[in-house]
Structure 1
């Protein structure tokens, strides 16, 4: 790396510094990783993406688990809950399908199409593939689904015998490969392979392209990818407030209305999120109760309060604790997907427990509101431009720090 650049996290002008193989260069102010010091090789990512696509078939069509309920063997595949919910709760079913199947499939496919676009110089294919990698990687939730499957098994163990299916082994391996793939992915590397920043002789470094992450002069459009340039994301604060206020409105019905309805020998039990947690505590499933409480109550509320706090400090131009607010923002981005756990549990339970009037499990109206809260809080985190946190921080050019990276590209 031989050109100065602006940090995508805080917009600090950073002077070049060489990072050795196995190390990464980080912004000295906000600790955002700027680049990795290793040889660019995409063959490993291509092999992992192809392996993921191959594993999609057994992970989706073979049973994850099979239970024996009243003498009947009931298999559960990854998409079976979505198909069961589709008729009565299409929006919830679509959200579950998107996070458990569509998003990870698109991410794996985008790695392949990005490399095809790079090899054959097809800019449209290349650009769209990198957009998918940039925006959908946080929506690939195999890890959340696997934890939800474990929670569901604990819930049904009193009613049925549980048998592990071949699909579960495929899904675990698929999650491991997907985790490695996401850890290795760097959109910046793909853009540098398409056209290095050094090909453009820059005399000023005033803007950072939000699409291809190239630092350049004050132009209307990026000289590398052609996207519109802006100093900050347009209407970032307004969009984030809109998503956040809407999520705040929906969090009340999500917690006050029943999220699940359980029918046992003609007795109908409607549980809200909180009452479901209380029931788990009463039945000596304290560990599962804590997981559900944190994922379904603490996390959504914490995301709303955390983003609200960050927005208020931006608008009131607070001049302290910038790094702490940046760490809070990153934590909110990372933890956001775990709110999907309750919806995944519902989809699995709907598949496993369906014995008409004898034993039945269906979502309640609170599930729809809860799904809306999950989507809105994740969109709120994505719409916030983190550089706004640092706008009233003293600007100065610094050297990036280097330390041994956890992953090599």
Structure 2
């Protein structure tokens, strides 16, 4: 009888931590409770009662709001008796007209394309579940994971405020309808991102309880989690739910992360020493690097804006490069003492990375508002291009890193069945 009870006890639903692959036995949670991994302290699963129909309504509303938010003017200025208005699209057009196509593409991607894709694929995920289209669901949810870190409407709103502070000494500023659309769009986007959960969509497609597995011991190597739908299952070549190839680690994760990080470190030098913006005023040409721009803001008694720019454009890129390098070196040297520390550093760096886009958004806003070629003229410098490379490469470096490698320092896997020796 005792043996039968023990045998029954071992047949439970297990779930692996997405960060460290530690097997967790699923237990019922009370309202608002979260289940944390005992090894890395990440939330493995949580009590949720999110209605997926609400996600669909939010996505459709955000998609409709993109039109006024992008094409309506968000701000107007009166510069030397001449009125100018700025919209999000006009800022991108101004960058293209100045010959900075790469910057224009980066700005339009983070402010327009990424949100558009996120809202669209959220809708297509619902369509895929409704009509049982596995390929469409796979592609939609992959894009949800990829795009959510590149949606930067909140950063753009902060950039509008900074631009207003910069121009307040030169012009009278007024708010237009487009700004209210942007604010409402940001509120709904935050609400959508807080609700959307890829695992919940996959459970809606097919409940994970269907694929019940035995309760594994903590040292068992026979448990693997799909990196696509997060179903924990026995080691196999293909996921039984989403049919994606199974692998304990993303192939060449360290190599890609190092490559992006080294590119960002090299680009950081011209980004800080080549002028990022050039202002013509009162017959004088003022070339500003990121640091001299901060000093100029301090001299104009804009201390708060100077602090924001200094943190976002100088401290954050440096801290992110050093922080990611520390995590990568810890993995390469197999340091097992500071694994939780590495995870916390990685989580913070991944969140703060997008705020470096503030300077580039400010440049696009200033270009569309300032009367170029007359009394006051504003144009970007080549330092802005290098700074854009720093932002993109640091974000890609963080995205490329498979955090499960942090917890796999003692026994490094060899290349087999798609599992690549890092």
Per the shorter chain, which TM-score range? over 0.9
What is the aligned partner in structure 1 of residue 226 from structure 2?
209
Are 2:18 and 1:8 aligned? yes
Q: Which of these residues, 245, 252, 263, is aligned with residue 228 of structure 1?
A: 245
Q: Aligned partners of 2:213 and 2:62: how far apart in 1? A: 40
Are 2:88 and 1:78 aligned? yes
Q: Aligned partners of 2:116 and 2:260: how far apart in 1? A: 27
1:130 and 1:187 in contact (8 A); partners too: yes
Q: Which of these residues, 340, 347, 372, is aligned with residue 357 of structure 2?
A: 340
TM-score (norm 2): 0.90
What is the aligned partner in structure 2 of residue 161 from structure 1?
172
Are 2:304 and 1:257 aligned? no
1:49 and 1:109 in contact (8 A); partners too: yes
Are 2:117 and 1:95 aligned? no
2:272 and 2:291 in contact (8 A); partners too: yes
What is the aligned partner in structure 2 of residue 407 from structure 1?
none
Unaligned runs of at least 5 residues, structure 1? 395-409
Q: Which of these residues, 204, 211, 224, is aligned with residue 193 of structure 1?
A: 204
What is the aligned partner in structure 2 of residue 403 from structure 1?
none
Are 2:58 and 1:48 aligned? yes
Q: Which of these residues, 205, 211, 219, is aligned with residue 236 of structure 2?
A: 219
Are 2:399 and 1:382 aligned? yes
Instruction: Give 1:383 shift.
Output: 0.5
Q: Which of these residues, 132, 141, 148, is aligned with residue 130 of structure 1?
A: 141
Give CA-to-partner distance per residue, 1:75-113, whole Å, 9 cap, x none.
Answer: 111121111111300110000000001101111111111
2:366 and 2:378 in contact (8 A); partners too: yes
What is the aligned partner in structure 2 of residue 32 from structure 1?
42
Change in 2 beyond 3 A, CA 1:188/1:225: same
After TM superposition, the structure 1 = structure 2 runs for residues 347-362 of structure 1, keeping only pairs within 5 Å, are: 347-362=364-379
Q: Aligned partners of 1:79 and 1:20: how far apart in 2? A: 47
Instruction: Give 1:276 shift.
Output: 0.6
What is the aligned partner in structure 1 of residue 120 from structure 2?
109
Give CA-to-partner distance per residue, 1:29-77, whole Å, 9 cap, x none.
Answer: 2222222223452011111111111211211121111001111111111
What is the aligned partner in structure 2 of residue 401 from structure 1?
none
Q: Aligned partners of 1:285 and 1:39: how far apart in 2? A: 45
- Look at both structures and tell me which one has the larger radius of gyration over its CA atoms: 2
Give CA-to-partner distance per residue, 1:124-164, whole Å, 9 cap, x none.
Answer: 22111101111110100011000011000000000100001
**Which shifted more, 50-59 or 250-259?**
50-59
Q: Aligned partners of 1:79 and 1:170: how far apart in 2? A: 14
Give CA-to-partner distance per residue, 1:234-281, whole Å, 9 cap, x none.
Answer: 111111111100111100011110100111132111111011111111
What is the aligned partner in structure 1 of residue 150 from structure 2?
139
**Which shifted more, 361-370 or 227-236?**
227-236
What is the aligned partner in structure 2 of residue 272 from structure 1?
289
What is the aligned partner in structure 1 of residue 408 from structure 2?
391
Instruction: Give 1:311 shift.
Output: 0.7
Instruction: Give 1:201 shift.
Output: 4.3
Q: Aligned partners of 2:401 and 2:266: how far apart in 1? A: 19
**Which shifted more, 216-225 or 94-103?**
216-225
Unaligned runs of at least 5 residues, structure 2? 1-11, 217-221, 412-422
What is the aligned partner in structure 2 of residue 370 from structure 1?
387
Q: Aligned partners of 1:221 and 1:99: how far apart in 2? A: 34
Task: Give the structure, 1 or 2, with the largest relative contact order (CA under 8 Å, sep 6 or more).
Answer: 1
Q: Aligned partners of 1:131 and 1:381: how far apart in 2? A: 17
What is the aligned partner in structure 2 of residue 118 from structure 1?
129
Q: Secondary structure at the match of 1:139?
A: coil
Q: Secondary structure at the match of 2:149?
A: helix
2:334 and 2:410 in contact (8 A); partners too: no
After TM superposition, the structure 1 = structure 2 runs for residues 318-337 of structure 1, keeping only pairs within 5 Å, are: 318-337=335-354
What is the aligned partner in structure 2 of residue 405 from structure 1?
none
Number of equivalent positions: 394
